[in-house]
Amino acid sequence: MPSVTTGYSVLTHLTCSRDGSTHDADVVQGTSPLGAPLLAQYDLDRAAATVSPAEIATRPPDLWRYHELLPVRDPAHVVTLGEGMTPLLDLPRHGARLGVPGLRMKDEGLVPTGAFKARGAAVGVSRAAELGVTGIAMPTNGNAGAAWSAYAARAGMRALIAMPADAPVITRRECVVTGAELHLVDGLIGDAGAMIKAAVTERGGYQDVSTLREPYRLEGKKTMGYEIVEQLGWRAPDVILYPTGGGVGIIAIHKALREMRELGWLTGDLPRLVAVQAQGCAPIVDAFHAGLAESTPPADPRTVAFGITVPKALGDVLVLDAVRSTGGTAVAVSDADLLAAQAALARDEGTWICPEGAACVAAAGRLRETGWLDGTEDVVVLNTGSGLIYPDTVPVDLPVLPRGARLRP
């Protein structure tokens, strides 16, 4: 593999998120020797000198338009299903309802596999293939496993997936139909992780691509940050709300924003980042308000927003830093409130979003009620998946009318 950057990517090396030590980006890597996530670093001076926002605007509308700031060195190794450049939708009716007229939604429900996890899978699988990996293994709450299974199939790789038995049935089917070896676990994502860790050790031949245990899922997800800024005319919104489980998305957006500022593509203050969780599993929220540097897992985590049921995130320190360093906050909402927000948004705007995204909509309303939002801000909420993945969140119990029945007023 090349040890220097090529024109397609200006990737230089990896750094440990805990001690800043430098690591080789051109061999397969997991976490650092300290067990901390590794972060991809780029020659941003070179990028700024060779590509501009104007040039990026001429490229195809997918996440690979930012390829200089992504880790794949050779375009021949790109594994894609057309992911990226999802719409940034104005929400005028619902924003007015909440008292947040500047409300917009980045709708990740339209990417392949139906959730934002496709971004991380596209870049993670592409880089793994470039480095010679032939099989990936991971625990998942559902959507990530579905995405990595699909992209592994696209790349001709094997996929070994473990998920809690309570994960959405649709995501199980996505794994099965793309040929993954899927195992259901009576437990939570941590239990699935223990199963995968043991299997990778015993079997060999697989890379463990669990959340933040390889460096490149984060790089795919950071393109959400690049897209939001580009879609706003290369300016940042005032506030971004993100549903937070493993935390990769909010860490990634923070990384993207800092890169763009160093590139000179973004000026001024960074958006205030808001980590949103469900009250049934809110370790980041608890740690934030307690002033702690890391989180403690709750005793009995459970929420209908299954994708953010992560009791202890490996990247919790990075999530808390992203929130605090931007003047943001952390909010937990009840299942009842997020389901009500899901239904109200669908009625107001015609978009059926996942419960994790609905938690962000509910949180925006809560922050307006408390005055943390004053109603003048440009606010972006992230919807991380399609509501179609979670059909049971919208109960439909209607009588069957006899043939020929008349519908009376």
| Coil, helix or strand at residue 302 | coil
Which residues sit opposite 158 in a β-bridge? 135
Domain ranges for the chain:
88-115+221-393
Q: What is the pLDDT along the chain (409 residues), one digit of tens a residue?
A: 334 446 899 999 999 999 999 999 999 999 999 999 999 999 999 999 999 999 999 999 999 999 999 999 999 999 999 999 999 999 999 999 999 999 999 999 999 999 999 999 999 999 999 999 999 999 999 999 999 999 999 999 999 999 999 999 999 999 999 999 999 999 999 999 999 999 999 988 999 999 999 999 999 999 999 999 999 999 999 999 999 999 999 999 999 999 999 999 999 999 999 999 999 999 999 999 999 999 999 999 999 999 999 999 999 999 999 999 999 999 999 999 999 999 999 999 999 999 999 999 999 999 999 999 999 999 999 999 999 999 999 888 889 999 999 998 8
| Coil, helix or strand at residue 331 | strand
Read out DSSP for 187-229?
A: S-HHHHHHHHHHHHHHH-S-EE--TTSSSSHHHHHTHHHHHHH
| Coil, helix or strand at residue 34 | coil
Which residues sit opposite 13 in a β-bridge? 41
By C-alpha distance, which of 265, 246, 242, 264 is closest to 326?
Answer: 242
What is this structure's pTM?
0.95
Calculate the CA dihedral of residues 13, 245, 101, 348 and round it to 10 degrees. 130
| Coil, helix or strand at residue 323 | helix
- Write the DSSP symbol of residue 31: S
Which residues sit opposite 184 in a β-bridge? 163
Whether CATH 3.40.50.280 fits 88-115+221-393: no
**What radius of gyration, in Å, describes the C-alpha atoms of the chain?**
21
Measured between alpha carbons, how far is 118 from 220 in angstroms, rounded to an integer?
8
